[in-house]
Structure 1
Amino acid sequence: MNRSMLRQKLLLASAAGALAAGAALFWSHGKSAANAFVPPAEDICVVTPARVTEAHAYDPASGLTMYDARPIPADARCPVCGMYPARYPRWAAQIIFEDGAAHFFDSPVDLFMFLEAPERFGTTRTAAEARAIYVADYRSGAWLSAREAVFVIDSAARGPMRGPDLPAFADAAAAGAFAAAQGGRALRYEEVDSTLIAGLRDANHAHHMH
């Protein structure tokens, strides 16, 4: 075998080895990616009119009843802004619909925006289909019924969108203590009206929504 043919065979063998190694790496990555989703390091609000975030189906094997508050899946995205609510346990919210499927939100502002006009976010679900609505207690992260929670408006606290939001508390005393320290005033669920939502929407989403 002359030197030219030997060199050609060596090059072919080297290329085949590299291809096999690359395939193994790709398979290994794909397998691990399927096992555990990790959100990207930069969590950016991106609202695209054509994007529709699917609700997460109820899992009977979870040990929870259909309308219990549930842990936020790591890959769940807010249907309003596209962020990952699991990153913001003190601000997160969720709606569970009559079929047990759930939408998760990065903050109460986006929760209320969705309830006011779900169709704006590409879903066929309606607010009337909501069977349970939860918000996270700002202090503990525990789930609270949104209809029983007390919110604070106009405080110094900034939500995941880096703008004014509605931190939630289990009772008026906790909300009042927070307002005394951070400013603002307490509101009940039914006091969060369309005018207030519009102001918060503009403060948080002015550069993203159309």
Structure 2
Amino acid sequence: MASGDRLAWVFFSVAAVGLLMGDSVRTNSGAAPEDVCIVAPPTPYNPASGVAMHAPRVVPTDARCPVCGMYPARAKGWAAQVVFDNGDTQFFDSPLSLYQYLQDVGRFTPGRRAQDITASYVTAVDADTWIAAGAASYVYGSSALGPMRSGNLPAFSQRQAAQQFASTRGGVVVSAENITPELLQNLSTTPRHRH
């Protein structure tokens, strides 16, 4: 068999398999799915780690953000996390994703509720360390691009550092209690999933 004949045979075989499998990728209504979502599970607590159950942890390289699917370990300077009452941890690529998650926990982590979260942390730009998300000062509307290459909420441990950042990069300083769904929507470029 000539190489051209082999190539034609391969294409024919792939097309036939595609036709046979076509119905298996359809929903019950007969329509093809709009998108495919992989829900990022929380990382289970490991008592042998030596880390207190509700303390912040190092972001594992394989952890995925449940909001956008990115790997938070690739942008540690922006990372955030929540710790559930059983010690399981969900990691995020940025404070923006953290606050989007907190708006509807069950949507992003089926079976979990906001009431089950005992701690949330963000990486402080000015200190390069984990701080409580509720104690951070954030800069909204700056020129700083987050891991998704769009607007975000850089977090700071000191309000003065956030104000200095805003004076050079633009934006306004906001506290956690001023982060509203409208503010998040203005920053969001993440398409809505129907989990």
TM-score, normalising length: structure 2: 0.78
- Gaps spanning 5+ residues in structure 1: where? 1-47
1:180 maps to what in 2?
A: 167
Q: Is the 8 A contact 1:77 1:84 kept in 2?
A: yes
1:138 maps to what in 2?
A: 125
Separation (CA, whole Å) in 1 of partners of 2:36 and 2:111: 14
Q: Is the 8 A contact 1:97 1:130 kept in 2?
A: yes
Quick one: structure 1 residues 96 and 49, their matched pair in 2 at CA, closer, same or farther if it must change by over 3 Å? farther
Q: Is the 8 A contact 1:135 1:143 kept in 2?
A: yes
Corresponding position: 1:63 with 2:43: no
Q: What is the deviation of 1:49?
A: 5.4
- 1:14-53 residue pairs with structure 2 within 5 A? 50-53=37-40
Residue type at the aligned position of 1:51: I
Separation (CA, whole Å) in 2 of partners of 1:197 and 1:49: 24
SS at match of 2:149: coil
Corresponding position: 1:198 with 2:195: no
Residue type at the aligned position of 1:146: A
SS at match of 1:157: coil
2:97 maps to what in 1?
A: 110
Separation (CA, whole Å) in 1 of partners of 2:128 and 2:76: 6
Q: What is the CA RMSD across the aligned residues, in angstroms? A: 1.4
Q: Is the 8 A contact 2:138 2:155 kept in 1?
A: yes
1:100 aligned residue (87, 98, 102):
87
Separation (CA, whole Å) in 2 of partners of 1:175 and 1:192: 15
Q: Is the 8 A contact 1:49 1:121 kept in 2?
A: no
Q: Deviations over 1:81-119 (max 9, x none)?
A: 111000111110000000000000000111011100122
Quick one: structure 1 residues 80 and 49, their matched pair in 2 at CA, closer, same or farther if it must change by over 3 Å? farther
Q: Is the 8 A contact 2:37 2:193 kept in 1?
A: no
Q: What is the deviation of 1:209?
A: 4.5
TM-score, normalising length: structure 1: 0.73
- Seq. identity, %: 41
Quick one: structure 1 residues 120 and 140, their matched pair in 2 at CA, closer, same or farther if it must change by over 3 Å? same
Paired residue total: 160
SS at match of 1:147: helix
2:41 aligned residue (43, 46, 54):
54
Separation (CA, whole Å) in 1 of partners of 2:36 and 2:68: 10
1:125 maps to what in 2?
A: 112
Residue type at the aligned position of 1:172: R
Q: Is the 8 A contact 2:40 2:64 kept in 1?
A: yes
- Gaps spanning 5+ residues in structure 2: where? 1-34
1:148 aligned residue (106, 122, 135):
135
Separation (CA, whole Å) in 1 of partners of 2:84 and 2:109: 16
Return the index of the structure with the highest Cα Rg. 1
Q: Deviations over 1:63-82 (max 9, x none)?
A: 11100000000000001111
Residue type at the aligned position of 2:179: V
Residue type at the aligned position of 1:162: R
Residue type at the aligned position of 1:134: Y
Corresponding position: 1:82 with 2:86: no
Separation (CA, whole Å) in 2 of partners of 1:90 and 1:137: 8
